[in-house]
Amino acid sequence: LGDQLEVPLDAAPLVDNVLGHRTSAVVLRPGASLEAWCRIRNALPGRVELLPLDRIETTPVSLPSSFADRSSEIVCLADLVDVAPELESLKQALLGTVFVVNDLTTALQWQAEGFPYPLITRSGEQVREDGSVSLGPGSTSANLVSRRSELRVLQRGIRTLENQIRMADEEIARMRDRLQERDGEIERIEREQARIQEALADERVSLLTIDDRLQRLQREEVELQQECEAETRALKRWSNDALAARQFAGNAHRQWAWSSRAAKEARAAQAQAERELEQVQEELRQAEIALARREEFVAALRQQRDRFESDRREREEAVDETRQQLHEVKGRLEETELQWLQRLSDAARLYWQLQKLELTSGELARERRELEDQRRRLAKEMEKTRRALRKLEQRLQQQEMEAERWEREREQLEQRYLDDFQIDLPKLVGEGMEQEESEREEVEREIVELRHKIATMGAVNMEALEELEGLEERFALLSGQYNDMVQAKTTLERIIHKINADSRRLFSETLETIRSNFQALYRKSFGGGHADLVLEEGVDILEAGIDIVATPPGKPSFNNSLLSGGERALTAVSLLLAIFQYRPSPFCVLDEVDAPFDEANIGRFIDVLKDFLGWTRFVIVTHSKKTMTAADTLYGITMQESGVSKQVSVRFEDVNERGEIVESSDDEAAA
């Protein structure tokens, strides 16, 4: 049976206490042969209890109607146990009539009120329907259900640890895969970086080549400029010679013609030099453009290299972090493996202890049954011996009394026969005394034997009757006190019930009145909207919480925490005034309640207060000018002289249209 019960660990001792030795009973499924077990009963090593499912009958059990309102204080023990569907009837038959309560006080109270089923507390005390109570720790020799529950908890813990280890292994595998991916990515980045560095080196070589060509072109440009300047100077010199030749034109016509040709050649050479210079300058511009493009490309390559370098550092940091996480996971895995091995060792040790206990529990149960049978047999024999002893003692007393009487009569008879007839009777009966003496010795031996048995049984309490009378008197006194306490308890419960009923009624009436006041004041304070007071459901009305639901006009319903500060303050003031309206007083002091309000809300707040002026006067501490203008009288403190405070009061009815304070007629009369 114990193998078929699924019991929580905290409820397993209760099932052990209720079932006792039945936890090791054998459950016979429908169709199993009970006769086969009966045929081998003489070959069994010990006592075996059989539970045939097809012979188990159950009757539905429910709480009496007088206890239905306190069903939250009690639970059926069968509801705490899970079994296979085909074993439900067996579970109900064994545990369906036992109910669990929190403590012994509750169990005794329920039993005193006439609860018709056995009760068991969370700590294992049992209170039965006949009034008997079982206290103290139970026997640990047959806690089969508790051991099975502990074993199941340990097995679940082992499965949990195995799942954690499997998840840790999967996480380690994922980490390793990610680490391999990161390593491959790092290698790819390093190869890309090397390729970029090679390309950058090639570009640097190309840039140096372009720089050399540019310098060569610049040198050629300088040389061409120098040649052009030399040609210009030669042209000027030739021009001067031409002027001189014009002066001597007549004499040097041939020289002039030659000089003219030379000048044309010089101009042609200058034009050619200028064209070559323009070509060189164009090549220089193209070289500068190419150089700028190369510089931009080099800058882009440098940025890309820096970006790759930064990305490489980040990936290296990620790899280091991953390695650190992997190291931590390995540490946790090793720790988990150690814990798992420790748990496995504990589970193996507990399982070995459980097997050992299961092996010894049968022997202990058999020895206990044998000792119990021997004790009952000895008790019966001792009771039988006591009854025989009492009978023999009574017979002995009767025989001793009879012997004394016969002795006296014998002596009288002997004396009378001796006096009247001179007959000595002792001589005549001497022959029959031998047989009587032997019978007397046998009786005396039996008496000695019975007295020896009485001595071995222990002393007899001769004051037992007096103690019984004292205990009966004490029982009568305690019974009277108990009856008085029960009567006082009943009266007190009746008073408490009446107080609770009156409290619930008054609370409901008060809450409904304040709720109506709050709804009206809220609509007036906000110029519309909706507000309500909602009791917490499923809880006693005297212990239930109250939720404030407020919805300003033009806004959807939402949580009160989303209201603005002014809206929450005006809602709170509306609720306070609703409570105050239920039981008003002549005076009410409000200390800066209008501080969070804007001008519009202050106006509504003042309008609400004016409705209370028929039975209440308000004293308001405020810094709001609009609130001050609505008051009849102002009280303030001023310091006209340094260090001297003075109280000032102003009634608005004493202020004229120009803002001047006019003396009242009473003051004039007093003056």
The full set of domain ranges for the chain reads 2-134, 166-345, 400-457, 484-585+595-608
Six token digits for residue 267:
């101009």
**Which of 225-234, 415-424, 561-570 reaches the highest mean pLDDT?**
561-570
Q: C-alpha distances in angstroms, 147 versus 77, 150, 360?
A: 18, 5, 14
Helix 464-526, helix 599-610: angle, nearest 10: 120
Q: Which residue has the higher pLDDT, 537 or 95?
A: 537
* The CATH fold of domain 2-134: Alpha-Beta Plaits (3.30.70)
The architecture that CATH gives domain 484-585+595-608 is 3-Layer(aba) Sandwich (3.40)
Q: Which of 48-62, 251-265, 579-593 bottoms out in mean pLDDT, i.e. has the lowest?
A: 251-265
Q: Is 152 exposed, middle or buried (0-12, 13-18, 19+ CB in 10 A)?
A: middle
Residue 141 confidence (pLDDT) above 50: no
pLDDT class for 670, splitting at 50, 70, 90?
very low
217 Cβ contact partners less than 8 Å away, ≥ 6 residues apart: 280, 283, 284, 287
Per the listing, tokens 């009247």 go with: 420
pLDDT, tens digit (0-9, with 9 covering 90-100), for 292-351: 666 676 566 667 666 666 766 776 676 566 567 656 656 665 666 566 556 556 555 655
Six token digits for residue 520:
């009206």
pLDDT at 665: 42
pLDDT at 589: 92
List the one residue out of 432, 431, 414 whose CA is nearest residue 423.
Answer: 414
Residue 52 and residue 28 in contact, taking contact as beta carbons nearer than 8 Å: yes
**Which of 168-172, 293-297, 551-555, 621-625 reaches the highest mean pLDDT?**
621-625
166-345 maps to CATH 1.10.287.950: yes
Three-state DSSP state, 137: coil
pLDDT, tens digit (0-9, with 9 covering 90-100), for 576-601: 999 988 888 889 999 988 888 888 88
53 Cβ contact partners less than 8 Å away, ≥ 6 residues apart: 27, 28, 29, 30, 86, 87, 89, 90
Model pTM score: 0.32
Instruction: Please tell me the total number of residues recorded for the chain in this structure.
Output: 671
